[in-house]
């Protein structure tokens, strides 16, 4: 038998305005204009204010007022100026970071070279298919027999593995050298075979052909013994020649998206007379207002008073305008709140990492987590996480992702906490100064870091080394 029960519980729900603000906070500055244009297309009551100079001046005055009302700014230990727009800085940025896209993509260059070969129609289609099968680094890793089957099923071309390999060998003569290789070994050999015959080049080919696995593991003594090499200097030159080859021939050209991508910073931090200025990079973002013509419709309806019931069409139009006007107000308010929240967040980061922004010394970075910023701006950690994700800042030293400034803490012998980036910097310096014939093992690096005052475990050193893309000691060894 079912029983009816009455329960009471407390839940937290976001209002539509809060949901809209959360979504806007996640959008980088380079994409916010797209979101604004989308809202303009969907809401006829909303319009850009750029066509009215008087309104623009009013909007600028309001922006200045909003900046001054961010109270906690005056309480910071270092004076920092805020502004929503910096037209001169934006113009300097655009002049500095002009986009010069490549004329041709990788595939277009290869297809152009394919046209120069004397191939029949079937062979030409095989060549096009092979070029289309190249991965972004320039390799073909699919089995040739599988490619032959695909050609039969998709292009209705009857072929075999031998013919496909013949066409592939022709593509491997194209530029950039090494394109179309099926393995790293083949890629390096293709590049060496295109060089003029010299003793150092011939030895490099011999090393890759006969002792490739030993070479990848840097077992040089075993290579010398197996190949009976007597000229140590020539062997060293051969290794240097191999090191100069390009292991990713397609990577120099990359995809069209990567070629034309420009990193626009969301914030600008400049130093003026030992003071830091923080600005929001809002280039080309229009100011918004409610449409005067639609507001006139609403005002007309309100003036009719009791007679409004006599006009159903006007009542429906007024209801539509009222709904869209409320939505437009929410959106404008959300944009303004977004500006203030972004600036407060960047301001907090500058406050916590003031020494780094003044000197750009990674050793000056202090341990900082999302909770530290959330405490200053008095917001939830999840909000800070959304703000810093996929956003960057331009300083006088370069452009940094905001995530760069968040680091874990490492204790020192003095009882202080330092940033993990400072430890990584010290680790990098030790490895750069090591004897390459006898590189430091992780145990030695750990002991050196402990001697320098960092309490750190060997496994942590190995993790930091991997994050810095530094191989183990055996692979760093040189002759």
Query: Looking at residue 438, what is its pLDDT?
Result: 84
In a domain, 358, yes or no: no
Q: Residues 71-105: pLDDT tens digits?
A: 333 333 333 333 333 444 444 444 444 333 445 57
Query: Looking at residue 61, what is its pLDDT?
Result: 43
Reading the block at residue 114, the tokens are: 């394919």
Domain check: are 167 and 114 in the same one? yes
Question: Are 299 and 338 in contact, with CB atoms under 8 Å apart?
Answer: no
Domain check: are 80 and 130 in the same one? no
In a domain, 362, yes or no: no
Domain check: are 428 and 477 in the same one? yes
Query: Looking at residue 119, what is its pLDDT?
Result: 87
Query: Looking at residue 94, what is its pLDDT?
Result: 44
Q: How far apart are CA 474 and CA 479, in angstroms?
A: 12
In a domain, 360, yes or no: no
pTM over 0.85: no
In a domain, 7, yes or no: no
Taking the CA atoms of residue 135, residue 140, residue 141 and residue 143 in that order, the dihedral angle to the nearest 10 degrees is: 140
Structural domain including 187 reads 181-245
CA torsion sign, 96 to 99 to 100 to 102?
positive
In a domain, 168, yes or no: yes
Reading the block at residue 423, the tokens are: 């430890």
Among 121, 141, 176, residue at a domain's last position: 176
CA proximity to 269, closest of 358, 360, 394, 373: 394
Domain check: are 60 and 117 in the same one? no
Domain check: are 228 and 157 in the same one? no
The CATH number given to whatever domain includes residue 449 is 1.10.10.60
Q: Residues 184-209: pLDDT tens digits?
A: 999 999 999 998 889 999 999 999 99
- Dmax of the chain from CA atoms? 107
Question: For the residues of 104-159, what is the DSSP string, one character each?
Answer: S-HHHHHHHHHTTS---HHHHHHHHHHHHT--TTS---S-HHHHHHHHHHHS----
CA 149 to each of CA 140, 146, 169, 254: distance values in angstroms, whole numbers, following the listed order: 16, 5, 19, 28
Domain check: are 341 and 293 in the same one? yes
Question: Are 275 and 289 in contact, with CB atoms under 8 Å apart?
Answer: no
User: Is residue 89 helix, strand or coil?
Assistant: helix
Mark 368-402 as b/e (b = at least 16 C-beta within 10 Å).
Answer: bebebbbebbebeeebbbbbbeebbbbbeeeebbb
**Tokens 């070629």 sit at which residue?**
259
In a domain, 423, yes or no: yes
Domain check: are 324 and 342 in the same one? yes
Under the banding of pLDDT at 50, 70 and 90, the label for residue 55 is very low
Domain check: are 273 and 345 in the same one? yes
Q: How far apart are CA 74 and CA 65, in angstroms?
A: 14
Question: Are 167 and 127 in contact, with CB atoms under 8 Å apart?
Answer: yes
Domain check: are 342 and 269 in the same one? yes
In a domain, 86, yes or no: yes
Q: Which of 16-20, 98-102, 286-290 holds the top average pLDDT?
A: 286-290
In a domain, 118, yes or no: yes
Reading the block at residue 340, the tokens are: 């203030």
Domain count, the chain: 4
Which of 9-13, 52-56, 305-309, 459-463 has the least mean pLDDT? 52-56
Domain check: are 169 and 239 in the same one? no
Q: Which of 160-164, 381-385, 448-452 holds the top average pLDDT?
A: 160-164
């Amino acid at each position: 038998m079912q029983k009816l029960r009455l329960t009471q519980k407390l839940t937290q729900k976001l209002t539509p305005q809060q949901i809209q603000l959360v979504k806007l906070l996640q959008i980088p500055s380079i994409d916010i204009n797209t979101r604004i244009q989308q809202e303009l297309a969907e809401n006829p009551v909303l319009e850009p204010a750029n066509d009215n100079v008087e309104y623009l001046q009013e909007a600028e005055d309001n922006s200045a007022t909003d900046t001054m009302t961010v109270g906690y700014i005056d309480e910071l230990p270092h004076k920092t100026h805020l502004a929503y727009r910096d037209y001169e800085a934006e113009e300097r940025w655009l002049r500095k970071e002009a986009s010069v896209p490549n004329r041709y993509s990788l595939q277009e260059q290869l297809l152009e070279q394919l046209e120069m070969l004397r191939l029949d129609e079937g062979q030409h289609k095989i060549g096009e298919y092979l070029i289309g099968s190249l991965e972004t680094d320039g390799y073909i890793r699919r089995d040739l027999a599988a490619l032959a089957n695909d050609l039969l099923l998709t292009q209705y071309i009857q072929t075999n593995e031998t013919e496909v390999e013949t066409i592939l060998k022709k593509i491997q003569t194209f530029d950039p050298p090494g394109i179309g290789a099926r393995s790293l070994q083949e890629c390096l050999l293709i590049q060496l075979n295109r060089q003029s015959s010299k003793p150092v080049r011939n030895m490099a080919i011999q090393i890759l052909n006969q002792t490739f696995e030993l070479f990848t593991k840097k077992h040089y003594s075993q290579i010398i013994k197996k190949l009976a090499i007597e000229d140590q200097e020539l062997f060293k030159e051969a290794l240097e020649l191999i090191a100069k080859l390009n292991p990713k021939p397609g990577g120099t050209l990359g995809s069209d998206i990567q070629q034309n991508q420009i990193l626009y910073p969301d914030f600008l931090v400049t130093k003026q007379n030992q003071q830091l200025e923080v600005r929001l990079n809002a280039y080309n973002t229009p100011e918004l207002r409610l449409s005067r013509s639609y507001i006139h419709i609403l005002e007309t309806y309100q003036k009719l008073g009791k007679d409004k019931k006599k006009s159903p069409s006007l009542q429906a139009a007024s209801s539509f305008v009222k709904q869209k006007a409320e939505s437009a107000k929410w959106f404008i308010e959300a944009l303004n709140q977004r500006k203030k929240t972004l600036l407060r967040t960047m301001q907090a980061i500058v406050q916590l990492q003031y020494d780094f922004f003044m000197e750009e010394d990674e050793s000056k970075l202090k341990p900082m987590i999302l909770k530290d910023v959330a405490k200053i701006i008095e917001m939830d950690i999840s909000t800070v996480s959304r703000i810093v994700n996929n956003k960057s800042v331009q300083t006088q030293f370069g452009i940094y992702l905001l995530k760069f400034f968040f680091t874990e803490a490492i204790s020192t012998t003095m009882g202080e906490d330092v940033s993990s980036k400072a430890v990584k910097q010290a680790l990098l310096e030790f490895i750069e100064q090591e004897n390459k014939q006898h590189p430091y093992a992780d145990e030695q690096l750990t002991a050196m870091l402990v001697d320098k005052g960092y309490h750190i475990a060997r496994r942590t050193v190995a993790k930091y080394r991997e994050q810095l893309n530094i191989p183990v000691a055996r692979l760093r060894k040189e002759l």
